[in-house]
Structure 1
């Protein structure tokens, strides 16, 4: 009876696949589970093109996420994690967030990932997956590499299919460690530091301390917390057989990361770690008529202002809001500003050259030839879109990786960076005047854009290729670096160094003992002769 109730809850596509032997009856199609649980809109802006591309290739997808695919597709079964975005979008004090120390951000980030994963486990959406029979099989699981760790129990539940991890949040340290990718603090900046090469001694010291703190929080606190959640929610035989989260992560076939050397700097990549920055960027669509006319009527250039999908402009502090309004009013008469403002009531004192909108097609706006500057929080997706479209940035970083993104863009000469806490009319106006008036910012951004765009194949095609590679070969063990299985002391050759030191010490000890013996013998012979 219980089995019958579970079957009744199966999505139609899943039943069809079961009838076809778990997906084998589909021509050139596979049965793929995508676990995309990060409760922020930007992550799903980034991953939804991948869902669309895999569906267009004929694969049958079961997608667990906070946002269903729009428009829906016949071969995509959406399982919605209800209330997930609202869980994250609490009344956030962004000014307080800017005061958090870098070391504290590591702990805060790990706690946020763990808490959001725990929330997902308690939802009706995830319980739908729990109701699938344990003998149901997926050919592949695609899961977010940061924030989905507690859901890795589904790997055991569905017969240990190969796993591909994706990460829209750049390329944090732990993803590199999981696949054995070289991640040396001597030349790779921690993902939450704003270091630029070449590193000074102080930079390297800070970097090492951050790496050590991250190692502690990730392996001592974060992963064990995910193991506890997994064993709490995955009952019975699945929980008892499930491998520790760290072990499952170490056996991920491929990790697709939102990174590219043009912005992140050159560094080693093992075959299992594939950069795919820009997968969400599409050909620009025509703008709505009112927006097109507004931007067309900016002969001296237009400025686009948005703080992304997570940070709301209408929750800025009064000081910061008034600074922005004052700076926009002081711009030359021919410069217009398009501002993403989430409230019905506009900001007080809004000048006539500024237009606000609750939602604006950001990437399409940045493609308009009159847009000469982008005031941004320097989030990952916004930075990539601005670079792709060739628009210089005035960065106001607020949280996590935004500080590093802003520092990198400024170091490349395509951005000016402002401090949120000390934002003033004068500082905003000076940065805008510099970016709008100095053509070198736009020239350098166009050069950077050309490098960022130029790939052997488009980033979305790259992502689809490697996912299908894993499907075709039922995993990708040959792409796995041996460093992923080595202990830290083996990786640093400390065992070899210890052996060499031991041999050297033994040789020196023998030489010293022999010398003493010879000396005693010579000394004894002299006494006898006398």
Structure 2
């Protein structure tokens, strides 16, 4: 027995040494004020820490509970007021060019202010710091941070909080077919009309062209201005750094997006943040359990304040919900906004455990602005929706809801008490909405491997294979005319032209020859005829 125990101890030590011998030092840099992004990435970081990796995270949002192997470096919360102002500006001037300009300006401002933060400046100049992997939110207008990968000679994994923007897709070698992959900034489906395909292709081209020749130049300038250390004079062009990132983790899923052709350097991890099995707070549990007519949950996410909506929109929402026989759970930053309305059926709070609320069997409807994470949670828990898109990718997301038949969408400019009431009643009474979203929920949950485990696997894969350069598509090394096959098309056109030219020449020669023969015969016949006369 003693010998057996000793053997087991030795085996345990060997296993532990094997486990911790493959641990890596991972730097996570998320200094901008996108709380929902950070929260949804956190399960990945925690899972890496749980597997023994040393994760160092720079973020303005400290965790409530410390996590073993996860070291937090808290940086100042920058751009919070700017973010609200930009969102309000984008909502009031909701055009493609305005939205894109707002995001580019915000990104450049946020990157520069982040690089001025003392803790980040210290990181840049830290000669002793060594990392095996860098994780960045590169594609959300933070491209200059890619210099950290070069600084520490470590592979970079991008974290994308939405499906890929056109520029992000092109720099990973995933050139999206514009004929059926709609731009996130528009409310198009994958079945676009001729005019929609014209618009889609134009804006794909415009964003990629202007993004490359204008916006990225400013990001490159910021990178060279603030990354000053011995050897920084050899920093490659930012466009080269972008083309050489190892992997992109995309917060999306086949159940919440259209089918898209992607290379192996793109990995979906949408749904990794969805909490299942957590108990509701006791008071909220009682409210939801006792709701005989069911629950309607209302939330416009963590960025949109109800106070920033136009007065007619607030009136339509409050009036319509106040007339419902269902219990309403409303996420709202200030319950005083409800004063003056008959709202005895509304439970208003600044925060709800959203996933747990949607998971409750009495939750019958979700009224949403169309945020991606709310959409994923609603589909996962099979709760039909009424969408009121406001800004950013929300039109795209709600159009997806409408196409699948799992909810109804109301344009914000057309919002009224009557329209909202009709939409709510239609979704609640028509069982087809429930049936379709249950089917989509089953698709979401049908996975050969757990979503979070899959994300961790690919992160460790990149570490094991030193950046996994074999995943990098060769298309990234081609010139634009090679990618578009302009040279091949030009060659074929030239061959066709030459063949056509030769054929025409031959026919002309034949024509002349035949004409000569015919003329010769005619001439001989005339001469014979004249002699006979």
> Taking structure 1 as the reference length, what is the TM-score of the superposition?
0.89
Matching of residue 192 in structure 1 with residue 185 in structure 2: yes
Alpha-carbon spacing, 1:281–1:93, altered in 2? closer, same or farther (3 Å): closer
- Larger-Rg structure: 2
Q: CA deviation at 1:415?
A: 1.1
Q: After superposition, where does 1:306-385 map in structure 2 within 5 Å?
A: 306-332=299-325, 335-343=326-334, 345-350=336-341, 351-385=343-377
- Is this contact kept in 2: 1:189–1:195, CA < 8 A? yes
For structure 1, which segment, 374-383 or 85-94, has the greater mean C-alpha deviation from structure 2 after superposition?
85-94
2:255 counterpart residue number: 262
Matches within 5 A, 1:48-87: 48-84=42-78, 86-87=80-81
Does 1:303 find its partner at 2:303?
no
Provide closer, same or farther for how the CA distance between residues 107 and 213 of structure 1 changes in structure 2, counting only shifts above 3 A. farther
Instruction: Tell me by how many angstroms 1:374 deviates.
Output: 0.7
Secondary structure of the 1:137 match is: coil
Looking at both structures, which has the greater relative contact order when contacts are Cα pairs under 8 Å and sequence separation is at least 6?
Answer: 1
Question: In structure 1, what is the Cα distance between the partners aligned to 2:386 and 2:104?
Answer: 29
User: Where do 5+ consecutive residues of structure 2 fail to align?
Assistant: 1-17, 525-533
Q: Following the alignment from structure 2 to structure 1, what is the Cα–Cα distance between the partners of residues 502 and 401? A: 59
SS of equivalent to 1:416: strand
Cα distance, 1:297 vs. partner?
2.0
Q: Does structure 1 residue 444 correspond to structure 2 residue 461? A: no
1:146-225 alignment to 2 at 5 Å? 146=139, 147-159=141-153, 161-225=154-218
Taking the TM superposition and a 5 Å limit, the aligned residue runs for 1:13-92 are 27-84=21-78, 86-91=80-85
**Structure 1 residues 410 and 522 mapped into 2: Cα distance closer, same or farther (>3 Å)?**
closer
Structure 2 matches for 1:465-480, cutoff 5 A? Answer: 465-480=457-472
How far residue 93 of structure 1 moved from its aligned partner, in angstroms, is 6.6
Partner of 1:13: none
CA distance, structure 1, for counterparts of residue 89 and residue 407 of structure 2:
22
Q: 125, 134, 138: which one pairs with 1:131?
A: 125
For 1:429 and 1:138, the matched residues in 2 are separated by: 55
Separation in 2, partners of 1:440, 1:51: 39
Return the offset for 1:208. 0.8
1:394-422, Cα deviation, whole Å (9 max, x unpaired): 11111110000000011111111112233
Q: 1:257, CA displacement in angstroms? A: 0.6
Give me the TM-score of the superposition, normalised by structure 2.
Answer: 0.89
Match of 2:243 in 1: 250
- The offset of 1:145, in angstroms, is 2.9
Deviations 1:253-280 (A, max 9, x none): 1111112222211121211111111111
Q: Deviations over 1:39-71 (max 9, x none)?
A: 211101111111111111110111122212331
Preserved CA contact (<8 Å) 2:90 2:102: no
Give the Cα separation in 2 of the matches to 1:452 and 1:25.
Answer: 32
Q: Does 1:108 align with 2:99?
A: no
Instruction: Decide which moves more: 294-303 or 400-409.
Output: 294-303
CA offset at residue 516 of structure 1?
4.6
CA distance in 1, matches of 2:391, 2:405: 22
**What is the deviation of 1:518?**
5.9
Q: How far does the alpha carbon of each residue in 1:79-107 deviate from its partner, in whole angstroms, 9 at most, with x for none?
A: 22302262544446738615421243233
